[in-house]
Structure 1
Amino acid sequence: MNPTRKIATVAGVFFIVTEVAAIAGLALYDPVLNSPDYIIGSGADTRVFLGALSEVILAIAVIGTGVTLFPILRRQNEGVALGYVCGRLLEAAVIVVGIISVLSVVTLRQDLAGAANADAVSLVAVGKSLVAIHEWTFLFGPNYALGANTLLLAYLMDRSALAPRFIAVLGLVGGMMIFVSATAVMFGLYEQVSVWGSIAAVPVFAWEVTLAVRLIAKGFKPSPWIRVVDLI
């Protein structure tokens, strides 16, 4: 397997991992995100810990896509390729902030909720504040940052013709839609986890899965400006 084929396969696997980990994390976080009294209740801490682990894997895979693809993408436009890597690092960092905020709710529940002098009202308020932080990181990480990063990568794929044109176009459409949707959510037009939010997320989901399958199954399309010697 030549270097470009290996890079394509690894990048494709990273994209698949991001999708699986993102969906798993959101599903596992449900008790703490949607139960205002979680911090003073019996809790479902193991489930939340598994959700946090899923998001840790997500953050690693997000960084992995940028780092893995950089040697290929820089041959087309090094500045934009570097921007994509930095954008993926920012996206991962925002995700980690969200993980810490959710785990902080669990820590407070374990350490303070059962104490004799615990103020339930104050604890609930703190818990809601930490969950609110996660909600904003969920908006700015897997929405704003993801939208911008998708646009950068789709642009590079389109210019370089490393993937079929329809895949690049799907990425451009998906990146723009998720970015616009994030703005709509920020201004309160609808909830992020809603029918409209889900509809806006479908194209970017389809882009990442389609690109991943293409990279794993066939690798990059032949391109005259990629020389194997540059990647060794």
Structure 2
Amino acid sequence: MSENRKTARIVGLLFITATVAYSLSVILLDPILGASDYLTSVSENENQMVIGSFLVLIDAVAVAGIGIMIYPILKKQNEALALGYAGARIAEGVLFTINVIAILTLLALGQEFLKAGTPVASYYQTFGTILLAAGDLAFLFGFAVAFTISALILNYLLYRSRLVPRWLSGWGFIGVALLWVYYLLEPFNIDLLGILFIPIAVQEMVFALWLVVKGFDSSAIASASAK
């Protein structure tokens, strides 16, 4: 069972790495990309943009790594769903990587924008708007589609198998449901809607710490292996 214990720790650390990297990238990138003069802003904050992009890339690698590392454990419960989970997390990582490419391209565009001056500013602004939209769309699909599907699959398998306590996987179900509510209501610009992210974010960290400290339930793994 030592190999399963090691896998649990790695998966837990990858969850923590992904969350920390994502949170720091939001802090660094959102004020710049959300500015009204974002082309000027990105070019004036090159180092911050590069670091933020690198953090998104770390997030992308971590989420894909979670799907790959946990697959052998989930496979014993349901091979098809385990493969679906791994695929969804890898897709999430790919979409986040596309977001990074859009951000870095926007940085290069912003630098050229300052050199070009006012006469051709509209061309750069149009291209910049397209890059922002492409990056946002990739990130949206990564989170709203790939992440939510993977979280649903994971918590279903955890709940059914009892690899972790059922209260923890049940909490995950609630968090995913609230996340879907968030995306359904987001177009209406409701105040404090962002609090719907909190349950799944906290659940993931509790789950990650559980894996690092206690790991998966050995009896649940043994039971699945005996089938």
Q: Which runs of 5+ in 1 are unaligned?
A: none
Residue type at the aligned position of 1:7: T
Contact 1:161-1:223 at 8 Å conserved across structures: no
Q: Distance in 1 between matches of 2:147 and 2:162?
A: 22
Contact 1:29-1:51 at 8 Å conserved across structures: yes
Of the three residues 199, 206, 215, the one matched with 1:203 is 199
Q: Distance in 1 between matches of 2:14 and 2:125?
A: 37
Alpha-carbon shift at residue 43 of structure 1 (Å): 1.9
Give the corresponding residue for 2:101: 100
C-alpha deviations, 1:1-28, integer Å up to 9, x for none?
8101000000000000111011111111
Residue type at the aligned position of 2:192: V
Alpha-carbon shift at residue 128 of structure 1 (Å): 2.2
Q: Distance in 2 between matches of 1:179 and 1:216?
A: 28
Give the corresponding residue for 1:16: 16
Q: Distance in 2 between matches of 1:129 and 1:229?
A: 50
Residue type at the aligned position of 1:11: V
Give the corresponding residue for 1:53: 54
Greater shift after overlay, 154-163 or 199-208? 199-208
Contact 1:101-1:133 at 8 Å conserved across structures: yes
Give the corresponding residue for 1:220: 216
Q: Distance in 1 between matches of 2:31 and 2:46?
A: 9
1:14-93 → structure 2 map (5 Å cutoff)? 14-40=14-40, 42-93=43-94
Alpha-carbon shift at residue 147 of structure 1 (Å): 1.2
Alpha-carbon shift at residue 138 of structure 1 (Å): 2.5
Q: Which runs of 5+ in 2 are unaligned?
A: none
Greater shift after overlay, 80-89 or 140-149? 140-149
- Secondary structure of the 2:197 match is helix
Residue type at the aligned position of 1:214: W
Give the corresponding residue for 1:140: 141
Pair 1:68–1:108, CA change in 2 (3 A): same
Contact 2:179-2:197 at 8 Å conserved across structures: yes
Contact 2:24-2:52 at 8 Å conserved across structures: yes
Give the corresponding residue for 1:122: 123
Contact 1:95-1:137 at 8 Å conserved across structures: yes
Contact 2:162-2:217 at 8 Å conserved across structures: yes
Give the total of aligned pairs: 225
TM-score (norm 1): 0.89
- Secondary structure of the 1:113 match is helix
Greater shift after overlay, 109-118 or 97-106? 109-118
Higher helix share: 2
Q: Distance in 1 between matches of 2:62 and 2:219?
A: 26
C-alpha deviations, 1:142-194, integer Å up to 9, x for none?
23221111110000100110001111001111112212322333xx1227xx6
Q: Distance in 2 between matches of 1:146 and 1:182?
A: 13
- Secondary structure of the 1:46 match is helix
Alpha-carbon shift at residue 85 of structure 1 (Å): 0.2
Residue type at the aligned position of 2:57: V
Q: Distance in 2 between matches of 1:99 and 1:224?
A: 39
